[in-house]
Structure 1
Amino acid sequence: MKFLNNLKVALQIGYFKIELVIVLIVFSAIGCHQLHKIRSHGDLIVNTESGLVRGHRFHIPSVISPIDAYLGIPFAKPPVKKLRFRHPQPYGKWEGVYNATRLPNSCFQMPDTVFGADFPGSSAWNPTTKLSEDCLYLNIWVPKTTPKLRKSAVMVWIYGGGFYSGTTTLNVYDGKILAANSSIIVVSVAYRVGAFGFLTLNHPSAPGNAGLFDQLMALEWIQRNIKYFGGDPENITLFGESAGAVSISMHLLSPLSHSKFQRAILQSGVANMPWAFTTMEQAKRRGIDFAIATMSCNYTDIEVLVDCLREVPDYILAEHQYITRGIMQFPFIPVIDGSFLPEHPKEILKKGNFKHCPILLGSNKNEATFFLIYELTDWLNLTSIKMTKTDYLESMNRLFFTHPHPNRVTYPFVMESIQFQYANWLDEDNYVLNTQALDAAVSEYHFICPVNQFAQLYASLGENVYMYYFTQRYSTNPWPAWMGVLHGDEIMFVFGEALKSLANYSEDDKKLSRIMTEYWVNFAKTGDPNQIPGVRTTQDWPLYTPNMKEYLELNSKFLDDPDSTKAVGRGPRIKECAFWDEYIPQLNAVIGSLVHPFTKCRLSILIFTLIFFTTN
């Protein structure tokens, strides 16, 4: 006792560093002999509400200050056996010191092998750690410059992958560089994907949205424990891409999540995208079809059916889960469950029943090409493209056979409108122009226009919205040039991949990465990407408003130009989005209300007239 009193006095007068408090905690918890063993290896100990956590210190060649990383901290019980398909349960407390020095398992999924294991364009998105249903872990990167007594802003990454794939363990998601260069704490969280995370049978054994509840439980753990790592639980920003961004936008809409964070960054994903959610009826139908197709689990009793599915090996479930057809038709996705997602996302937005906070969001120039090369294999590949007018028309029919028409009656007229809107009238058999037209149609319908609509609805209720449009193709991009600026290309700029000391990126890439990192971090710290106290960026990012609709084009050639107006645009693609958001719904409504007063010929004339006057 006398030793402890003397040590307290020494701390008060500055003879010892404040970090010695950690020694006292560990000393009392695990004893002297274990304490000596831990400290002799230079490990780092943090005392959380779940127990003691051991981290590891990384020294980065391009950064002066080291990073303390805590990798693979469990936040929920392993969702295995009877917990498969169910909502997560808290992990509880562990005994002793939890060793959080390695990246955790990746949630079970089927790796992408379409282009072979050696093609970096696709293999870069494959899990790098063991596949397992025991996968509910999070990672924390803390810059050594973070004072223990000062709370730092926190950025929480949620990965994408169409809700059927994704992991925190990808190289591009490594939070070390972002944390080290910004003095911000970076966290990444895992959630179940595919049937494991989103099988829906409207029953407690398979209620749906388990993956979203995984995320919610991780956010609850972060909110309770991030202070022990030097983080501010009242200054948390969620950021994610694709399905990760969709997830975050659903946290914005869900009454269960509102208190868990303060700001959101949505990269190429919002809740109102056509592929982002489904109804309970459709989700249950898919779930039953999946059960029958997988292992003939054909039972009318849902509990018996789920018990049957729980006996199926994980790899068989993953292999058989793609039961849907068509581009962007992911089989297991979030569902309107009346709990996490109370009603249709657009209705929540229109009513203003969302979290009122600043958001930053945007889309990429060629969002669709990544999906087109997988879907249109007869015409598009890594070495060449072939897209005649006939190919173009057939491709359009394939790409939109499920959307955006409500029934068979309207299908031919909607398809005729889409083909007319995007047709290349000057050179009908030009492979490049026809492929670009397909990319434009799918990008605008599935990504760009929903992002615009989300921003519009959010800003219309007075929220601060910042929109970007990402247009820079990075210098080492392994995908063919015709694919342009792909879905997901902005991620490496945000995480600082180009800033690694041995990275072989161009100076323009490094410049843009520094600028984007600054914008993202400024927004996370203050809610404004333009500044932190006393520091301003070189290019002001205007607020997106319902009238002006201004966005910032993220491209080094514009952001570095003395004429700052070149980087600011309006929209993007306002006219094209009016086609999807206004014209097509009106067309469906008009045709759907007709019984038989028009022949197809007369309807075609009507469609042509409507398009002509809409676009001129």
Structure 2
Amino acid sequence: MTTKVKTKLGVLVGARRKTQNGFEYDDFLNIPYAKPPVGYLRFKSPQPPDPWQGERNSTVYSESNLCIQYDLFKRIPRGSEDCLYINVSTPKVPTVGLLMHLLPVMVFIHGGGFFFGNGLAKFENGPDYLIEHNVVVVTMNYRLSALGFLALDIPEASGNMGLKDQALALKWVQENIADFGGNKDDVTIFGIGAGAASVEYHVISPLSTGLFHKAIMQSGSVLNPWAIETSNKIKDLAFKLARNLNYQGKGLYYGFVPTIEQHFGYGEAFLTEIPYDLLTSGRFNKVPVMRGFTDSEGFIISGLKPQDIKEITMLQNYVDYWRFPFNTSTDTYYYNERFRHVYNTYKGNDTERPAIDFFGDFEFVSGIIISSKLMVKNAVPVYLYEFSYDGTLNLIKAASRVTKKGAGHADDTAYTILIEPRRNLTQNDVTVRDRISTMWTNFAKFSNPTPNISNLLPLYWPPYSTGEQFLMIINKDLSTCSKYAEERIQLFEDIMRKYHR
């Protein structure tokens, strides 16, 4: 069954679908939110799309609408430069001429390290769990790798094109979402991994002011070391690639990430100052925030760089992994000894656990908690969580081939969005999934994940504060703790305060 909606750009034909639980919704796929970024628009800021004549078929997902990337599993390139499209899933398109209560909107920004991933494929971004709570769900593509983040400090390639794509998609939501039954004044943006870092970039960018009203960040922050690079290093990578005409692709999809831009007078710069400075000084969009991490974020290093785990375990040279030199040999020795002290307190039998914890803190957790503290100091409500459930839908841990107990990087993903249909879930899997979808949509509706206590949510989630520093532990049961890994996080705070750049 098809359904239609008239937008400012033209008529869209969507499909009436059902979730796995039988909830019906209207689905519109592959809607252009920008002109194809090809030819003279390559490496430039995105431009609004042209209107179309007649009816546009938005019922079918197209692989060709993925942004160009390297398929990590098949080890081949895929996608197209013509990729700036958006999906909208809504419980019900408004009936023309009838007043309708507009619903909260949740806009998902996919992860993938800024070099892979997509927001269009239904088997990777299904709205099922969220839309059953009567919200409008939006997903998007944005340019990746060099096409999205090449920065040469010139107007022709100023950098952060992928983030500017996202901002234009959010502007499209402001201008069009009411046609789908969504409330443009009640928009929550959420993302996982690089998608979470992207969400926080919108929090700190003046270019995104007024385009959203709440933010959810899962396993990612602008303060994570992989989430930003200097334009000089990006230029160096670009020149190395240009010199190697026989380059086969592997390196092309690593290293191109957000950067601090120069002003060129066009009002298009997305980020012109150091994120830490913006957060510290309170110069950011102050919206309610919910964010978190998993209990074993470092599992991703076990899967991608097992040698790093072995080296830390054997040599304990923790300071070798910073991308900048410490000012003095005294600092180098001092911080390495402090790292050895705080990570060698583990008393269990897993000899790799200190290294896994270090990499989890280094790559993800420390930046998330430090950023949360800075937001709270600027009177922003923050709800912090740790996801520690180890269940059937921990798909990223499974892909990393890790067999240890715990939840790996972004393992709450498949409990938030439908990645692939699975029918062999345990009751605990279903309960955790239902809790997450309820808390996430509660936050989108009420700016509070637990506005009411119920059998499903029997515990009140207290906001994070500089004093108690509460966070919610999401396992098969809910619990709370305070001052998470306090000594470890304090060490990272000291280094970031002294060396942030």
Normalised by the length of structure 1, the TM-score is 0.73
State the shift of 1:106 in Å: 1.2
Conservation of the 8 A alpha-carbon contact between 1:369 and 1:483: no
The separation in 2 between residues aligned to 1:414 and 1:286, in whole angstroms, is: 32
Matched, 1:76 2:34: yes
Q: Distance in 1 between matches of 2:324 and 2:405?
A: 24
Q: Does residue 1:321 correspond to 2:269, yes or no?
A: no
Distance 1:194 1:489 in 2: 23
Distance 1:399 1:503, change over 3 A: farther
| Secondary structure of 1:545's aligned partner | coil
Counterpart of 1:486, as a letter, is G
> In the TM superposition, what is the alpha-carbon distance from 1:419 to its structure 2 partner?
5.7
Which one of the candidate residues 441, 445, 460 is aligned to 1:540?
460
Q: Residue 392 of structure 1: which of 313, 323, 347 is its match? A: 313
Q: Distance in 1 between matches of 2:370 and 2:203?
A: 15
Once the two structures are TM-superposed, the CA of residue 261 in structure 1 deviates from its matched residue by: 0.6
**Residue 482 (str. 1) matches residue 385 (str. 2):** no
Cα displacement (A) at 1:108: 0.9
* 2:283 paired residue among 348, 353, 360: 353
2: distance between equivalents of 1:179 and 1:206?
37
Instruction: Give 1:508 deviation, angstroms.
Output: 0.7
Looking at structure 1, the residues matched to 69 and 294 of structure 2 have their Cα atoms a distance apart, in angstroms, of: 26
Once the 2 structures are TM-superposed, how far is the Cα of residue 423 of structure 1 from its aligned partner?
5.7
Question: What does 1:86-485 correspond to in 2, within 5 Å?
Answer: 86-104=44-62, 105-113=65-73, 131-144=79-92, 149-170=100-121, 173-294=124-245, 318-321=249-252, 330-338=254-262, 339-377=269-307, 387=310, 392-394=313-315, 396-397=316-317, 400-403=320-323, 405-406=325-326, 409=329, 413=333, 416-417=336-337, 420-421=340-341, 424=344, 433-475=350-392, 477=394, 478=398, 479-482=401-404, 484-485=406-407
Counterpart contact for 1:194–1:318, Cα < 8 Å: no
Q: Report the AA paired with residue 413 of structure 2.
A: I
The aligned amino acid for 2:356 is D
Give the Cα–Cα distance (whole angstroms) in 2 for the partners of residues 215 and 441 of structure 1. Answer: 32
Between the aligned partners of 2:285 and 2:312, the Cα distance in structure 1 is: 45
- SS of 1:107's equivalent in the other structure is coil
Q: How far apart are the structure 2 equivalents of 1:212 and 1:49? A: 24
Kept in 2: contact 1:238–1:263 (CA 8 A): yes
The Cα shift of 1:233 comes to 0.4
Distance 1:410 1:175, change over 3 A: farther
Aligned to 2:444, the other structure's residue is in SS state helix
Distance 1:405 1:411, change over 3 A: farther
Whether 1:580 aligns to 2:492 is: yes
Return closer, same or farther for 1:355/1:532 CA change in 2, 3 Å cut-off. farther
Structure 2 residue 444 is matched with structure 1 residue 514: no
Are residues 358 and 488 of structure 1, via their aligned partners in 2, closer, same or farther at CA, if it must alter by over 3 Å?
same
Q: Give the 3 Å change call, closer, same or farther, for CA 46–414 of structure 1 in structure 2.
A: farther
Larger Rg computed on CA atoms: 1
2:106–2:137 contact (8 Å) kept in structure 1: yes
Conserved? CA contact 1:405–1:414, under 8 Å: no
Equivalent residue letter for 1:56: A
1:172–1:495 contact (8 Å) kept in structure 2? no
CA contact (8 A) 1:424 1:433 kept: no
Shift, 1:170, TM fit: 4.8
Pairwise CA distance, 1:198:
0.3
Residue 451 of structure 2 corresponds to residue 531 of structure 1: yes
Q: Is this contact kept in 2: 1:348–1:354, CA < 8 A?
A: yes
Q: Look up the SS of the partner of 1:529 in the other structure.
A: coil
CA distance in 1, matches of 2:55, 2:346: 69
Alpha carbons 2:61, 2:121 under 8 Å: kept = no
Could you tell me how far apart the structure 1 residues matched to 2:129 and 2:367 are?
A: 29
How far apart are 1:94 and its partner, in Å? 1.1
Amino acid at match of 1:570: S
Structure 1 residue 107: Cα displacement: 0.9
Question: Structure 1 or 2: larger helix share?
Answer: 1
Kindly provide the CA deviation profile for residues 115-142 of structure 1, in whole angstroms up to 9, marking residues without a partner as x. xx5xxxxx9xx99xx6111111010111
Letter of the structure 2 residue corresponding to residue 336 of structure 1: I
Moved more, 413-422 or 202-211: 413-422
Q: Which runs of 5+ in 2 are unaligned?
A: 263-268
Q: Which amino acid aligns with 2:447?
A: G
Amino acid in the other structure paired with 1:218: A
Percent identical residues: 29
Match of 2:13 in 1: 54
Partner amino acid for 1:454?
A: S
Distance across 1 between alignment mates of 2:383 and 2:32: 34
2-structure distance, mates of 1:568, 1:548: 11
